[in-house]
Amino acid sequence: MDVLNGYYPYTLLAIPIGLIGLTKAIGHLIPGPHHHPTLNVRNKTVLITGASIGLGRALAFKFYREGAKVIVTARSIDKLKDLCEELVALNEKENLKNEHLPDYAYLDLADTKDETLKELVRKSITGDRIDVLVNNAGVSMRGSCLETPIKVQREVFEINYFGHIALTKALIQYIPDDGAIVVISSVQGKIALPHRSAYSASKHAIMAFFDSMRGEERHNLQILTVSAGYINTGFGTRALDIEGKRHGIEDQNQVKGYSPEQASNMIYKALISRKIELIMAPCIHRFGVFLRWFSPTLIFWLVHLVLPFCQLSRGLEDKFYSLSSSKVACGTILNGTDQLGCFTSKEGNNGVLIKFDNAEELVKYGAAMHSLSTQLSKVVAMIDIVDINSELIDKLIEADFVRGILLYSQNGSNIRFSEDSGCPNQLYSFYESVKRDGCQWNSNGAIHQDGFRYLKWGKPVFYIEDSKDINYLMKVYEKYNSPRDMIAKSDGPFAIINLGLPSHKVGNTRRCRYIKDAFFPNNIAYNSGLGDEACDELKDHNVFVPFPPYTNATGKVDTMIVGTRMDTVSLFEGVNHGDSSVLTSLITQLAVIEAMGKSSKTINNHLKSRGKQVLFAFFHGEAYGYIGSSRFVYDIEHGLFPEKHSARKNRMDDFSLYVETQMLLPYGTPDFINYKQKLFYHGTSSKGKQVGTKEIGKAYSESMENDNFSVKNNYTNENLPPSSFFSLLKSNKNIPGIVILPAELVYYNPALNSYFDTSIRDKPSMRDPTIQVVKASAKGILATIMKFSGLSSNVIGINEEYISKLVDCFFYSPDKLCLFFDEILRVEGSTYYQEVYKNIDTYIGSQTSSTIRYAISGVVSRSVSTETAISVTKESCAKKNANADDIYSYVWQFDNSIEAFHCFKTPTFLSIAKSPAFEIENFDLNSTRFSTFADGIWEESFVRVYLEHPPTFDLYFLGASVVVILISIGLSFIKSKYYV
């Protein structure tokens, strides 16, 4: 015994070792799926729900890499189709030797039908067997038990519980005994969290259902329930709020969770190992599950007591604002000398949220906090945009203590200011005096004379207009940071804003391209953040419609250009506005083209007989130094326009007349009282031409007056306002022309190139006045064309119904593609185009994917088209369009009259809208001869709100933690004594 006493302490180890051994022994004795051999999914069929994004998508990749036939389901067909294409490409790229093509199917778990579900089986390898069913699809929610309505509770259960039950019951007979069902549940199915009641309950329910199934006749079938912790899939942003809408706010814990790839690997290993349960969560979450069993009262008290402290110490991480539906971020852009706009480091800029009403308050706060070294010395300024002015803008930029700016407005329809400079495109003017001294054309509307868009802010700027987000920020400010003058005496916590516009400080276009050229040869561009699109020049396409088109066999042609621009700009990315800046002029031109298209044969024959041509030009990128029009002229000077070699090449001396429309306002309305149009002249007529600018101007004025719209027409030459016409005049100053716009010495339009140029769409009462002024202007333009061509003005007329259709499509179809655009822009075999074109963006980027250009080219192509043979296929249509010997273009468009796609023959053509500066070898990018604007490099923006505390708070929290631990130990001791 004395000998054994020496080993006595070690005998205590025998107890846990024995228990582990007993557990293993019992496992071997009890029948169940763990007796099946390791699951090999190669040449097996795996069906995954919710596979379009996140974990489901990662699982699809994992199973496909392992050789399975993957069937992916979700509600987004386009995403599923893209996923399958990626899997096929992966198979080829990595030589996976997977013999099976992936397949996809639409599946809405909230609306399951037996026939639809059984149709999935027929997609399997054998047509009658699903080897692994992965119940992955799900939705979460955010809201208290009392505030969340039954409707939202039921919606969560329909997807998370009833949908999976219906799917499993329909497919269970097709799953063999050596197959498996994977149920993606949650740790919240074991321990519920506040404000997740329906989600936690649905996960409890689904686990209970499959626990019941395990005990029924299919006891050998492997059912793996995965109690997942946080996975970084954006799941939180898609959670439902108490109104049943997307929450739009990500949990910070979710962001810090497992990656989808990590999670899919863990699930796959558990599955092939024939496990029936996997808690895929960190130790702290597992400990919470243990406490739920060990002492329910304790865990509920801890959650109630400690969770608010944890949120405070972490900093309101459940309020990680992406604001995807309401925030618009300032973008960064480069030119030859500067990096303009806004940027931050990858982590963003932090500052105390402080509301200011004017520059005086900002300066006063800065002076008061100058000596402080605390977090109060750095602020994010929150400003109602109605209070913004030039003085306040300068102070915000100058102030080092201002780390970011949040502009807001709860009534954006009342805001009207221009983001362009007082002298738009000053450096690219035709007039040397303007380049040197500037001009005042936009001085009334410009919020800053240097241009709100073109300032070097050097810090993040966001605009928020959603009332829900504004009210939230106001409440946070009032609760923690107000009053502003007393904040230094507060013990905290303080509301902190983290604003992020991650972008690279590359200086300017020249330096950015140098860095890119230096990085790419060494194959480290990806790590530097300089991808293929880095430093790319702004580019897209111009759109042209000739009446008539001429072949290269044609001699001299007397040409009239009718021009306008397609683009507008804003400090804020993703502009889909531009009501009076561009859209009214565009609709006017489109209406004229539609009218002429109906009589194109008559008009073309007449013009040909006189050796004339009318060329409609829609220029792109004009707000950034006349990119489109300068490239148009450059191509003509180098014999490159039009591009097709069979078409007659234009020459600068062809142009005998130029007419441009700008900012056609619906004057006579309360918003634009007495904002009359004026004709600005340059020259009279080219030598030897019969029709001069005065005659053309008179034709326009008389036509407008016939529709009761008076026009200012002095018939005198004077300095032209900034216009695309400048590009032509720089090459040939003798081209006569007229620029038509509402102005005198300054523009009447107060919102040129502005996010707030929404005066028409914001007010339905503006619809009819807009239609009438566009109709009158279109008739006026048509009158100038008839005067130039020598045709009678009675030959054709403007279609008011067509104008109404365009006005409704551009202005009054919010977040939805109108029926006319749906026909013109439809993409065969896809519905994704409806999402792409639901908002027509009036800006130029670097990827030649401008939606305004697609819309304009689509509309004019149809207006002047002739139908080809019905038998023409999509492939043959594309082949005809690629034929360089044919001066016509061929477009594949849907035709409502035959309810099918058809090939249309059209004289419409495109030309590249890209600054010549990027074509000319060794061009000096510091020069102002051509635009040098290029894309900056930035990542996804973010706005985060959190609380920051004084250092003493950490001591308080540490003390609270010690108290909780002591109480836990005490409760454990009392409980053990009680049961003794």
**Crossing angle of the two packed helices 359-369 and 390-398, in degrees rounded to 10:** 20
Q: Which of 210, 206, 213, 250 is nearest to 231 (CA)?
A: 250
Cα distance between residue 691 and residue 681, in whole Å: 14
State both tokens at 793.
Answer: 């003005």
Alpha carbon distance 476, 497 (integer Å) = 10
Sorted by sequence, the CB contacts under 8 Å of residue 372 that are 6+ apart come out as: 488
Burial of 325 (0-12, 13-18, 19+ CB in 10 A): exposed
Which pair of structure tokens corresponds to residue 385?
């945009």
Distance, in Å, from the CA atom of 408 to the CA atom of 327, rounded to the nearest integer, reads: 9
199 noted as active-site residue:
yes
Q: Rounded to an integer, what is the distance from CA 905 to the centroid of its chain?
A: 33
Return the SS3 of 743. strand
Q: What is the 3-state secondary structure (H, E, C) of 788-850?
A: HHCCCCCCCCCCHHHHHHHHHHHHCCCCCCCHHHHHHHCCCCCCHHHHHCCCCCCCCCCCCCC
Task: Give φ, ψ of 650 to 5 degrees.
Answer: -75, 155
Which one, of 472, 468, 413, 416, lies nearest residue 442 by Cα?
416
Cβ atoms within 10 Å, residue 157: 19
Task: Please give the sequence-ordered ranges of beta strands (E in DSSP) within 385-471, or none if there are none.
Answer: 402-408, 461-464
CA distances from 271 to 33, 166, 188, 568 (A): 11, 22, 21, 55
**Helix (H) or strand (E) segment spanning residue 99:** none
- One-letter identity of residue 474: M
Query: For residue 619, how many other CB atoms are within 10 A of its CB?
Result: 25
Which two three-digit tokens encode residue 164? 């999976």
Sort 265 into a burial class: Cβ within 10 Å, 0-12 / 13-18 / 19+. Answer: middle
Give the number of C-alpha atoms closer than 13 A to the C-alpha of residue 617, restricted to the C-beta side: 31
Bond preceding residue 642 cis, omega within 30 of 0: yes
Cβ-based neighbours of 552, under 8 Å, separated by 6 or more: 645, 646, 647, 648, 649
Encoded tokens for 817: 């593609």
Q: Which of 64, 161, 174, 199 is catalytic?
A: 199
Which of helix, strand or coil describes residue 778?
A: helix
Alpha-helix runs per DSSP H in 721-799: 725-731, 767-789
Dist CA 460 CA 943 (whole Å): 10
Helix/strand/coil for 663: coil
DSSP state of 336: S
Sequence-separated contacts (24+) of 190-193 with Cβ below 8 Å: 190/227, 190/279, 190/289, 190/292, 191/288, 191/289, 191/292, 191/299, 193/303
List alpha helices for 326-455, DSSP H.
359-369, 390-398, 432-437
Sequence-ordered list of residues with C-beta below 8 angstroms from that of 211, at least 6 positions apart, any chain: none
> Three-state DSSP class for 911?
strand
Interhelix angle 283-294/296-314, nearest 10 degrees: 150
d(CA 857, CA 375): 53
Q: State the catalytic residues.
A: 199
